Structure 1
Amino acid sequence: MRLPEAAMKVSVIVPAHNEEQGLPATLASLLAQTDQADQIIVVDDGSTDRTGEVARSYGATVLRPPGNLGSKARAQNHALPHCLGDLVLAVDADTVLAPDYIERLKPAFGDPSVAIAAGNVQTRFTRTLWERGRSIEYLFGFHWHRPIQASAASPMVCSGCCSAFRRDLLLEHGGFPERTIVEDMDLTWSAQIAGHRAVYVGDAVAWAADPETLPYLRRQLRRWMAGFFQNVRLHLGRLVVRKPMLALWVLLAVLEILFAPLWWVTPILLTVTWHMPVEQALAWWWGTELLLMAPPLIYAARRRRIPLLRILANIPCVYPARAINTYYAWKGLITELLLVPLGLTKSLTVYEKGRADTLPPGPYTPRHATPQRIQALQALSSPQEPAPRPPAPRERPPS
């Protein structure tokens, strides 16, 4: 029997590796929720700083594996058997939730077909070129692509930094997927293929700390784009049969990647082929860009109450980030869709987050959720088994 959403208990998992600086803001935002989580678990995944100590000071339950687990999904799976809630909210250790995030997300689960729900992600900081560029991408994506996909009941991804999952779904799939380098997209697609719904809740807002340096951005985009094409290789055939609308979004994304280089050189082609003056070609290219980007950004500015001039000033910053994204998208496409199937190289399995990595990243072997793994997880999570002690009442730490 399904519980009404108001009665559902929420367990929060925060995987953290060397996050003593970012973790306080994350935990403070969780403690400030208007609909309080029933359990907050921080997985201190091989940290060499004060991550565990900081988490305990905020009243969180701290789990520390014997060694670094090598991926975010594994850290989350380490905590999953200890989760007591009907819903599991996965939150990155550098993400801050709006005070009403859980309150706004919970009603989505009043529909028994909904297995995953995620909110609107925006950038926490706009200090550097890369953060400012990412802020434009998030404003555009979460106020254009996401609503369209949501209206078609086929979101491409529920962001791993702030998504809530039915615990039953996670048990059904053997936990968070470890077979690809991006567990959020893998689980979003797998759930929809299995007949469940994933939903986007635009009024639930979270702010993520994005790459502030070029090396960090490169590591993140390498992982994201390789993971995207790992999921294309793994799921596309079943998506076409079981979830054709989601397959359409995926194919459109692949086409956008394929044609991105052509768009970048369009001003040169106009100049060489049509003998258009360089200034006119650039003006045509830039005008077309603004025409496509302006309506969603104007809407986002009003919705998020951001001065429009600030958004306009950040638009030029998006192009360096897009150029790097195009490079890693093509690299991921060639590697994961061509070279890996031909046996000429290995799929990306090194999980590099970037900002907090002070230990050298180690490779891990992606695992599939075998029937034995699912049974073991369900046994660990069974109500007949001794349940972990609930966390002590949390008090807001002194400011």
Structure 2
Amino acid sequence: MTLVALIPAHDEQDRIVATLAGLYRQTVRPDRIIVVADNCHDRTARIAQYCGAEVFLPVDNEDKKAGALNQALVPLLAELDDDAQVLVQDADTVLNPDFVRCAVEALEDETVGAVGGIFYGEKGGGLLGMLQRMEYQRYALEIRRKKNEAVVLTGTGTLFRASVLREVREARLAGTIGGGEGHYSLASLTEDDEMTKAVKTLGHRTVSPDGCWLTTEVMPSVRKLWHQRLRWQRGALENLRDYGWTPVTAPYFRQQLLLGAGTLALALFATFAVLNLAIVGWGGLSLFWTAITLLFVVERTLTVRRLGWRAALLALPLLPELLYDAFRQAVFVRSLIDLLLRREAHWVAT
């Protein structure tokens, strides 16, 4: 069985060494490591070659990451047998040393078509970085509660069966699913989310075992975080629009509906609180609502305890995370409005 790692990279000279080092430290190492250096204007390709990786240079690619991967996958899959495996990993990610081994073991179950990683935020980024790490920590707990089902085959690290990637492209060519003629959809802002729905639509399970964890970058500024999340959210909504309501997409539709309900609830609560204080004034503490709030504080604190005492202290006052949640909900509202008004989506590098 052959295992090949594909690393799409655009101007990643500062991070590619750590990414490759993470692959070389794997307890089960890939047979080949290929860096897909897409429209790089720095030394990414040269550094990758120096570190022992192969380099693939896409030709006249204007379709970002999906287009670069599609160009690389065509010749690669022509060489691989159906039992081969392909690891697709972003160049800003470092896999834990047992990632590949755990993913390969998960693919021993023939019902599993792809294994996605569980991502945690890297250190740094100040307060904003910590809030993102707290968000990712809770997302990891949610995956565990869902019995390790992969909600999204994250681009930070996913292992595919070669046969499944072929099947996805054949389905696109046959018109069974949309997205163009390549393995990855060219019609989606979030090709990883779309690929998840494609793999599931074709009848394969997607999983994220506990051992398949990794660390990835956090956005260092509000502006970059806004553009990242706007791309993720707009892409998720567009993918649901394109696939429609199916047994596969039904949970994703419910997730978006709950997000919308949460956004409306927070807005109504804030409006009520402000109006009540302005008209009625402070009425003192309510024992019932104080108890509910304390339970909420305990839950928020316990779910980030593995990040250390700084995360726990940040969770205690609630306000920082409420503002962060309001930010994410603003992204949702903006994405929904853009989708309904059919505004053209623009890809912004983060």
Give the TM-score normalised by the residue count of structure 2.
Answer: 0.84
> Which residue in the other structure is 1:169 paired with?
164
CA contact (8 A) 2:301 2:312 kept: no
Please state how far the C-alpha of 1:147 moved relative to its aligned partner.
1.9
> Which residue in the other structure is 1:360 paired with?
none
Matched, 1:195 2:200: no
- Counterpart pick for 2:282 among 262, 277, 280: 277
SS state at 1:110 partner: coil
- Counterpart pick for 1:77 among 70, 89, 98: 70
SS state at 1:255 partner: helix
Cα distance between partner residues in 2 of 1:57 and 1:318: 43
Flag the 1:91–1:318 CA change in 2: closer, same or farther, 3 A: farther
> Which residue in the other structure is 2:311 paired with?
311
Flag the 1:279–1:28 CA change in 2: closer, same or farther, 3 A: farther
SS state at 1:20 partner: coil
- Give the partner amino acid of 2:203: G
Flag the 1:288–1:257 CA change in 2: closer, same or farther, 3 A: farther
Please state how far the C-alpha of 1:101 moved relative to its aligned partner.
0.8
> Which residue in the other structure is 2:348 paired with?
352
- Superposed CA RMSD in Å reads 2.5
Cα distance between partner residues in 1 of 2:166 and 2:282: 61
> Which residue in the other structure is 1:339 paired with?
341
Match runs of 1:214-225 below 5 Å: 214-225=222-233
Cα distance between partner residues in 2 of 1:157 and 1:178: 17
Cα distance between partner residues in 2 of 1:253 and 1:292: 23
CA contact (8 A) 1:43 1:79 kept: yes
Please state how far the C-alpha of 1:180 moved relative to its aligned partner.
0.8
Flag the 1:184–1:71 CA change in 2: closer, same or farther, 3 A: same
Relative contact order higher in (CA < 8 Å, ≥ 6 apart): 1
Flag the 1:44–1:317 CA change in 2: closer, same or farther, 3 A: farther
Cα distance between partner residues in 1 of 2:266 and 2:124: 27
Matched, 1:138 2:136: yes
SS state at 1:202 partner: coil
Match runs of 1:251-266 below 5 Å: 251-266=254-269
Match runs of 1:202-241 below 5 Å: 202-237=210-245, 239=246
Matched, 1:58 2:51: yes
- Structure 1 residues 212-234: Cα deviation after superposition (integer angstroms, max 9, x where no partner): 11221111011001101011111
CA contact (8 A) 1:91 1:160 kept: yes
SS state at 1:165 partner: strand
CA contact (8 A) 2:95 2:215 kept: yes
Please state how far the C-alpha of 1:168 moved relative to its aligned partner.
1.4
- Counterpart pick for 1:148 among 145, 148, 161: 145
> Which residue in the other structure is 1:370 paired with?
none
CA contact (8 A) 1:15 1:75 kept: yes
SS state at 1:55 partner: helix
Flag the 1:94–1:317 CA change in 2: closer, same or farther, 3 A: farther
- Give the partner amino acid of 1:17: H
CA contact (8 A) 1:133 1:319 kept: no
Unpaired runs of at least 5, structure 2: 170-182
> Which residue in the other structure is 1:159 paired with?
154
CA contact (8 A) 2:61 2:67 kept: no
- Structure 1 residues 299-323: Cα deviation after superposition (integer angstroms, max 9, x where no partner): xx1xxxx43x122134365444333
Flag the 1:168–1:279 CA change in 2: closer, same or farther, 3 A: farther
Flag the 1:295–1:312 CA change in 2: closer, same or farther, 3 A: closer
Flag the 1:68–1:177 CA change in 2: closer, same or farther, 3 A: closer
Cα distance between partner residues in 1 of 2:19 and 2:217: 11
> Which residue in the other structure is 2:180 paired with?
none
Q: Percent identity?
A: 24
CA contact (8 A) 2:129 2:219 kept: yes
